[in-house]
Chains A and B, each alone.
Chain A
Amino acid sequence: MARNSFKIFPGALVCEESKLRGDITVGAGTIIHPSASIIAEAGPIIIGENCLIEEQAKIIHRLPFDQQNKDNTPVLIIGSHNVFEVDCTIEAPKIGNNNVFESKCFVGNKVTVSNGCTIGAGCRITDEQILKENISIFGSKCQIRESIDKPVPQILQMETLMKILPNYHHIRKPNKKH
């Protein structure tokens, strides 16, 4: 694994207790809760702006077995306005914008997530596929439907967290300029 190196843009809120490993870049306005883990095992992770990464969420950059031992290091790029809810495990190699990963869902490392998708609570997605835009996966049988709109962003919740979290936790200082 690569050496730890974190780039945090101003306006991001990264709690010191969060478990960060490897080369990680955090965009402005993104909130990372104290016990979230982000593990850049196979290569750097770049997180976009205004993402919300909640408690116990795990974002792991891990390659499938058949793609390991290649020369080029892949970069996991996560877009903006994504929500990673409590205790989700995400290993997707690419994530677009405005996605919601609900509590305890699992997304395997062969699934590419586009934009505006909702992975429902407890749903496990492991087969190799590209999730189309605005798809929601829900229920115990992982039913799929297409929505007309992307999920509503949680602006109010994020604003509150921005105010409250620094009162109770140590925050990593931003080390990047715009």
Chain B
Amino acid sequence: MSYITGPDVVKYACTCGLLKPIPQLYFCKHCLQIRCRFCVCHEVDSIFCGKCSENIPSAEARVKKNRCANCFICPSCQQELSTRIASKGPANPDDAKSPIKKTYYLSCYFCRWSSRDVGIPDQPSATGGWPERENVHINRLQEVLDTYKQIMHSEKQQKESDKRKQRGKFVSYTDKTGVTASALRKRIGLPDIPHAMLKKPKPPEPAVAKAEVDELPESIFTEPIKLMEVTTIEQRLMQPECQPLTVDKLFPVHKQLSIKQSLRCRTCEHNVSKPEYNPNSVKFKIQLLAYCYIPEVRFVTVEPLRAGQTVELIIKFTNPTQYQTTITILDLDLDEQAQYVEEQKLIDLTQNLEQALSLQEKQPMSLPSLPYSSGSQPSSLLSLPRLPSVIVKPRKIFTETNCDVAIPESSFILPPRDDAAEYDDSSEVHNFEDDPKLIKWRKSNKAFVKLAVTPRADLKLGDEVVCGFTMQHIYTNVLPPAVENKQPQKYDHKVRVFLTLGKVVGSE
């Protein structure tokens, strides 16, 4: 999203330790923590075609190689192709009243490529039946694919039979009706034949490397090249199975499907982003963007930066929420963050240990699959017991600051956002007891704050100056939904903010 914060001058530290501008961050209302795309769980919600807006079940999408069966894109310029009608005179030329016969062809409005260009016959119906080109390598690909399928199958069987053996010697008569065939064989003294699928699959013929290639034809050196007939690299890579060299071999390509994705907090497993199911809708059911909940810091201006000299920095704070908040600027305190990282590691370790112990007591079971793999069926995921999803371990913030910030003694209040305030100039009366040393100016939910910053004395000319502080703000939680007589809960939330101020300039 191209949010107006422009170059990333102000960055916020995510809980996982990465620094990102605020439009790229999410805020989990349940953990009260900042999350980013790196430390949330990505799930495929639905698969759809962007042209015909049809939802396609994941199994079907897999069979169709994630492409829409009905929509095509232009092999020449990669835009979508449209179906056009061509009337071909009456079906029966002798009878003037007979209906006009319509035929259909594909055409690109962008580069004027059409299915007639490459000699694809017009179709009698609009929905297609467009000829598919045969892939010359299909046999070989199928062979390789089959082999891998067999390997997969035999590994599965192997695992299952291993499990059966582990479970003990007493349950071989599993069948209610009596003994199994294998047990019967043993009993009457016949050798136990292994299951057919347990046999090692036959590997396909390996590909052979070849150093000798055909000589280039004579004409390539003598005849002028016709650029209009040669395909571009993009056009060739669009059709990897045949990689056409000339434009007359370009065939329409099935349109690639798109996905809708939901993001889940890995710690509490609540969604931080969930799109609406309907492919036509661009709205979200859940969208916990950080810039809707966390005050936004913007860089306004700074005096010329010189090593060792204290200068005035002005930044703007904006409260995006419906609730009044109090902002306190605290020391960056990266040690505290490092400690938090260590704590998390420890918690993780003990949890792992407990899990291992409890696993030993119970039956051995296969590890639960990651939510990734079952991503296409979010409903089934919800019905499962809470799984220990992989938690991204927080890491230390590595950004070096080379500029000290004088921490102000007082804090300040930001009133709630008021969309009507912009049109109303009259009621600009605030009764906040502002520290004039801290607040320079304020308007509705915004405040301009003065900070004294000192770039370190050992900085050289042209060095980038980075400063940072911890912003503590009061977050008002409206979850859970309005329980009787319950005030919305208020929390102190801290977030580390880093500012890139610019470069050190020379002396006056």
- Bound pair (A, B): yes
* Chain A residues in the interface with B (C-beta under 8 A): 118, 120, 136, 138-139, 143-149, 151
Return the contact of B111 from the options A138, A148, A149 (Cβ within 8 A): A138
Q: How far is the CA of A105 from the CA of B114 in the complex (A)?
A: 23
Least CB distance from B249 to A in Å reads 14
**Cβ of A146: which chain B residues have Cβ within 8 Å of it?**
228
Name the residue on B nearest A136 (C-beta). B112
* Chain B residues in the interface with A (C-beta under 8 A): 76-77, 110-114, 116-117, 227-228, 232, 247
Q: A145-B76, A149-B116 are in contact. List 15 more A-B contacts (CB 8 A).
A: A118-B112, A120-B110, A136-B112, A138-B110, A138-B111, A139-B77, A139-B110, A144-B228, A145-B111, A145-B113, A145-B247, A147-B114, A147-B117, A149-B114, A151-B112
Query: Which one of B111, B114, B228 has the greatest number of beta carbons of chain A within 10 Å?
Result: B111
Q: How far is the CA of A129 from the CA of B169 in the complex (A)?
A: 87
Q: How far is the CA of A162 from the CA of B464 in the complex (A)?
A: 64
**Cβ of A139: which chain B residues have Cβ within 8 Å of it?**
77, 110-111
Return the contact of A148 from the options B110, B116, B232 (Cβ within 8 A): B116
Number of A-B contacts (CB under 8 A): 34
**Cβ of B113: which chain A residues have Cβ within 8 Å of it?**
145, 147
Least CB distance from A40 to B in Å reads 31
Q: How far is the CA of A112 from the CA of B247 in the complex (A)?
A: 25
Name the residue on B nearest A151 (C-beta). B112
Q: Are A143 and B228 in contact (CB under 8 A)?
A: no
**Cβ of B110: which chain A residues have Cβ within 8 Å of it?**
120, 138-139
Name the residue on B nearest A139 (C-beta). B77
Least CB distance from B235 to A in Å reads 10
Q: Are B77 and A138 in contact (CB under 8 A)?
A: yes
Least CB distance from A134 to B in Å reads 9
Chain A to chain B: the 9 pairs with minimum beta-carbon distance, closest first? A138-B111, A136-B112, A147-B112, A146-B228, A148-B117, A136-B111, A138-B110, A118-B112, A145-B111
**Cβ of A151: which chain B residues have Cβ within 8 Å of it?**
112
Q: Determine the main DSSP class of B at the interface with A.
A: loop
**Cβ of B117: which chain A residues have Cβ within 8 Å of it?**
147-148
Q: How far is the CA of A26 from the CA of B264 in the complex (A)?
A: 65
Name the residue on B nearest A116 (C-beta). B112
Least CB distance from A140 to B in Å reads 11
Q: Are A143 and B112 in contact (CB under 8 A)?
A: no
**Cβ of B77: which chain A residues have Cβ within 8 Å of it?**
138-139, 143
Least CB distance from B77 to A in Å reads 6
Name the residue on B nearest A134 (C-beta). B112
Q: How far is the CA of A148 from the CA of B76 in the complex (A)?
A: 14
14 contacts between A and B (CB under 8 A): A118-B112, A120-B110, A136-B112, A138-B110, A138-B112, A143-B111, A144-B228, A145-B76, A145-B111, A145-B112, A145-B228, A146-B228, A147-B112, A148-B116
Q: How far is the CA of A118 from the CA of B107 in the complex (A)?
A: 15
**Cβ of B111: which chain A residues have Cβ within 8 Å of it?**
120, 136, 138-139, 143, 145
Name the residue on A nearest B111 (C-beta). A138
Least CB distance from A101 to B in Å reads 14
Least CB distance from A153 to B in Å reads 14
**Cβ of B76: which chain A residues have Cβ within 8 Å of it?**
145
Name the residue on B nearest A132 (C-beta). B228
**Cβ of A143: which chain B residues have Cβ within 8 Å of it?**
77, 111, 232
Q: How far is the CA of A151 from the CA of B117 in the complex (A)?
A: 13
Least CB distance from A114 to B in Å reads 14
**Cβ of B116: which chain A residues have Cβ within 8 Å of it?**
148-149
Q: How far is the CA of A143 from the CA of B79 in the complex (A)?
A: 14
Name the residue on A nearest B247 (C-beta). A145
Query: Which one of B77, B114, B232 has the greatest number of beta carbons of chain A within 10 Å?
Result: B77
**Cβ of A148: which chain B residues have Cβ within 8 Å of it?**
114, 116-117
Name the residue on A nearest B116 (C-beta). A148
Least CB distance from B493 to A in Å reads 44
Least CB distance from B174 to A in Å reads 66
Least CB distance from B86 to A in Å reads 10
Q: How far is the CA of A139 from the CA of B108 in the complex (A)?
A: 13
Q: How far is the CA of A146 from the CA of B232 in the complex (A)?
A: 14
Least CB distance from B226 to A in Å reads 10
Name the residue on A nearest B117 (C-beta). A148
Q: How far is the CA of A147 from the CA of B110 in the complex (A)?
A: 12
Q: How far is the CA of A143 from the CA of B228 in the complex (A)?
A: 10
Query: Which one of A136, A138, A145, A146 has the greatest number of beta carbons of chain B within 10 Å?
Result: A145
**Cβ of B247: which chain A residues have Cβ within 8 Å of it?**
145
Least CB distance from B252 to A in Å reads 15
